[in-house]
Amino acid sequence: MKKLSIIFSGVLVLLIGMGIGFELGKRAPLPPSPNVPSENNSVQETGDDRQSFVGEFKVTRVVDGDTIEIEGGERVRYIGIDTPETVDPRKPVQCFGVEASNKNKKLVMGKTIRLEKDTTDRDKYKRLLRYVYVGDTFINLELVRQGFAYSYSYPPDIHYQEQIVAAQREAEESKNGLWAACPLGATQAATVSQEAIAKENTSGDCAIKGNISTTGEKIYHLVGCGSYAKTTVEESRGEQWFCSEAEAQAAGWRKALNCQ
């Protein structure tokens, strides 16, 4: 009888101990896996990306051929291109401007886009300066390739400029878009755009284009020169930008003959 009592007491103590351990196990939180980021960390990373305006955003409005608005009201100016004017109250609507704006709407309106930054975050009007993608389509490049926009190069935001310049050459040779609808107007609009951009962003500083001719001659072009708009600066070929004529001349470059 005494042995049975001892056995019964031992079993009872064992059961009580098991019950306490089970309850503690339910209440104790599991430690996070070292290989899996916590939910709070992943949210913070996404928030940082959105605050820097890179990554995915929805387009809520198309302003014109090269400017859009995204969720939250931020305006985005496409880097490396310019389209004929449609919304500037100081200027008439330029040839193919409406078509460029409509094409931009077709490409991005209401869609989720991906924004990519180059060097400069915003322009003087506080617009975000970005490369824009819809899926695998590079919108900046596509508008130029189809003849709805033309290239403009302005350092330091020139990461894709060689591709954009090549796309413009292809569009011009194929008479795509504005190059067929208004060939003279396209050239004039490009000239006006280049001059305005150079003055707007630099007040004339570092806007001199140093170009190397097919014969190897080094020639620089000032804003307003006859060939300024169609002259490109391909740094991979040794071409460069200058801030003054004295700087260009000291580097061994001469002024273009069609500069007044």
Kindly tell me the number of DSSP H helices and DSSP E strands found in the chain: 8, 12
| pLDDT (average), residues 166-192 | 79
- Of the residues 45, 50, 71, 85, which is catalytic? 85
Non-local (6+) Cβ contacts of 223 within 8 A are 194, 195, 198, 199, 204, 207, 208
- Of the residues 99, 127, 142, 145, which is catalytic? 127
2: pLDDT strictly greater than 60: no
Non-local (6+) Cβ contacts of 76 within 8 A are 53, 67, 68, 69, 70, 115, 127, 128, 129, 130, 132
pLDDT digit string, tens, across residues 35-46 = 433 333 333 335
Non-local (6+) Cβ contacts of 238 within 8 A are 212
Cα-Cα end-to-end distance for the chain: 122
- Of the residues 61, 71, 77, 162, which is catalytic? 77
Q: Indicate the CATH number of 50-203 among 3.10.105.10, 2.40.50.90, 2.40.37.10, 3.40.950.10.
A: 2.40.50.90
How confident is residue 105, by pLDDT bands cut at 50, 70 and 90?
very high
The candidate with the shortest Cα–Cα distance to 201, out of 91, 61, 82, is 82
Non-local (6+) Cβ contacts of 126 within 8 A are 75
Structural domain boundaries in the chain: 50-203, 204-260
pLDDT digit string, tens, across residues 117-166 = 999 999 988 999 999 999 999 999 999 999 999 998 778 899 999 999 99
Least confident of 147-156, 202-211, 238-247: 202-211
Q: Active site includes 254?
A: no
| pLDDT (average), residues 25-38 | 45
How confident is residue 202, by pLDDT bands cut at 50, 70 and 90?
very low
In this prediction, residue 145 carries a pLDDT of 97
The residues facing 161 across adjacent strands are: none
Least confident of 71-80, 98-107, 230-239: 230-239
